[in-house]
Amino acid sequence: MSGRMRSLTLVPLDRTAFHDRYVLAGTDEPDLTLGELLADLPAFSLTPLDSAYLDVPVGRLVLELVEFDLSTPLYPPPGLDLTTLAAARSPQGSGPATGIGPAADAGAGMAGQGMAGSGVAAEPGHPETLSEREAVLIAHDMEINRAVAYLESGLSVLIRCEKLLVEHLAHEIAGRSGRPARMLRLGGGSAAAGMAPGTASGMASGMASGLGDATPLGGGRRAELLAALQAAVTDAKPGDVVVVPHLDLLAGGTDATLTSEARELTDVLYERSACVLLAFTDPSLVIPEVLANRFAVRLSIEILPREVTTRSGERVPVGRALVTRAEAELFDGFDATDLYKYVAGMNAVRFRNALRFAYHQHRPAIGAARRPTFADLRHELRVFKARTSSSFEVPNVPFSAIGGYGDVKAELERALTIVGGAVDLPEHLRHDLVPRGFIFHGPPGTGKTLFAKAVAARLAATILVVSGPEVTDMYVGESERKVRELFAEARRNAPAVVVFDEFDSIAARRSGRDDGGSRAGNAIVAQLLTELDGFRPEVPVLIIGTTNRIDLIDDALLRPSRFRPIRIDLPQEDARREIARVHADHFGIPVSPALVDGIARVTEGLNGDEIRSVFRDGRADELVGADRRRADARRLGELIGALKAARRQREREKNPRLGRSGDGQRRVTLVGPIRLTGVAGRRSATEMVPIVTDGEEITAP
């Protein structure tokens, strides 16, 4: 063998333990060979393994670990005792010994699996080890059994779930049903009962070539896959089940814009309506209704349940059933029940990934001075969700960072207490008491988005701020799809806060006009209403819209059971005093109580963002530029005077009549530096204010 890195694809019996030891071998066991690793943690290969690899240190190998697939033949490593291995139980709940060797009968293996019908059950306490497949089967055992019951009754089933769950659910549901399964694979073939691997693939290729011009898809994987589906449906015997793991990838669009692919797929599926199908589709993708109608039953597997059932019938929290003993014992104060509201929107695979991430970040260290707490775990879960999403972030704005607005804070605190304690509310009242969202309305610059970030921080949630115009799209149906995907991603990242800035741009009052723009806007509002009506209190997702024009918002969204309007107005003097104190502390500008009172008094009519800019610019003058000036009372007064002058200038430009007297002459309002220590409005002879009138520039003191 040469010295370059070699790549192998293995199917370990315990994927998690194998992966962890392989990753840590470079530092903990640099001399660990592949043979030694396989002796402790057995794994199969997808191709015959040369015995020379057994003496190679794993640090010189690139190992790709994959899940067990009943349709793929597996090869044991040289010297492995198959008799001993056959007695061992795979942690995934299905022994891969049924698929060993090049002539394995994949379909028979799957059917045999289903005869047991027991699956993987939760334990009363925390499990010692847990694989992703076990987590999926434990979390969704009830849904799996329901789907199995429908298949056993000869009914076709369409399951809506995330792609990460499909590989685990497809094999388990088909196997438990006891029906010979024909598995359609994206690789361009299907594994059928009673066929050796490769037969179905060859049949698929033959069908693809046999379709000729009748196949609008042309060549490629999709055409081959469609041909394999047609072959599986045509050749299926009574009692067989055809499994389509990715139905949504074969066709897309809606009934109004049925693609040629969707038409071809519809023809294939309806050709033999008596054939029993098990298909899967992702929540973020839409399939035409005519295809969905081919299935007698539609099931949805989206979020983690609050509790799962053990073999003895005991109900245990999902935070106990899907968290290993080591993970629970690591975090001081771990609460299996309270954990649910921080992970409810995640699927079982993402949940296990997040727990492994948190455990890795805080894994036990010798001589550690501090033991990680349950709060650390919650924080790591938030960070993990933000890192696995392209849009969500972790906010760190407490309510104490917002000056004033005591009444707004009190109203929000009350609502957030209900949201955070939804698990403790009576179940029949939970849906009615938990608010779906808020609309923050008021003048620009008053801190509406800042309040939204403080809400997210208070809920220990991730946040996504999206501008309303970003949702709109010129193509029919795309805007609704974007809204649907935003809500789906928010549920996956729950607890989450989604902020629609400029909410009036997508939630404007619906129009009866028949032009394209009105129809598109009406469709977005309808999609928003659909998502809000599908609200689930156990998945903490709060929607916040910010707008300067609440009068434009559709009345259906302003119903008390949907959005709760909260006005965030220009700050009063008490609020301006608190805002000034907060920003002075933030920028490190020393201010006396008397100076703060003066700033609060002379900034009437200014919003919080303008008050902040006074301290920001004052601090910048101290740190930047050749002519640096101290941010004292005089300098802060000059900055406030400049703000007021700029505001009045904008008002004159919007309404020129404001600058003229009754006799038609231009009326000049002089605004100079503000004296913060006493009288406001003093003008300095050394600091002139230039005024332009009728093309002539004059200077007034």
Cβ-contact 530, 543 below 8 angstroms: no
pTM score of the predicted model: 0.58
**Cα 36–Cα 42–Cα 48 angle in degrees, nearest 5:** 90
CB-side exposure of 1: number of CA atoms within 13 Å? 15
Residue-level pLDDT at 516: 47
Q: Which stretches in the chain have pLDDT values below 50?
A: 1-3, 82-118, 186-219, 515-517, 661, 664-672, 678-701
Amino acid identity of residue 560, one-letter, is P
Name every residue whose Cβ is closer than 8 Å to that of residue 233 and which is 6 or more positions away in sequence: 242, 268, 269, 271, 272, 275
C-alpha 399/C-alpha 450 separation (Å) is: 9
Residue by residue, DSSP assigns 608-652 as: HHHHHHHHHHHHHHHHSSSS-----HHHHHHHHHHHHHHHHHHHH
Q: Which of 374, 501, 350 is nearest to 440 (CA)?
A: 501
Cβ-contact 164, 346 below 8 angstroms: no
CB-side exposure of 60: number of CA atoms within 13 Å? 13
Cβ-contact 166, 67 below 8 angstroms: no
3-state secondary structure labels for all residues of 17-70: HHHHHHHHHHHHCCCCEHHHHHHHCCEEECCCCCHHHHHCEHHHEEEEECCCCC
* 3-class state of residue 191 by DSSP: strand
Residue-level pLDDT at 67: 76
Please provide residue 526's backbone torsions phi and psi, each rounded to the nearest 5 degrees: -60, -40
Residue-level pLDDT at 691: 32
C-alpha 335/C-alpha 331 separation (Å) is: 9
DSSP annotation of 695 reads T
Distance of CA 377 to the CA centre of its chain: 18
Cβ-contact 342, 350 below 8 angstroms: no
Provide the 10 A C-beta neighbour count for residue 288: 20
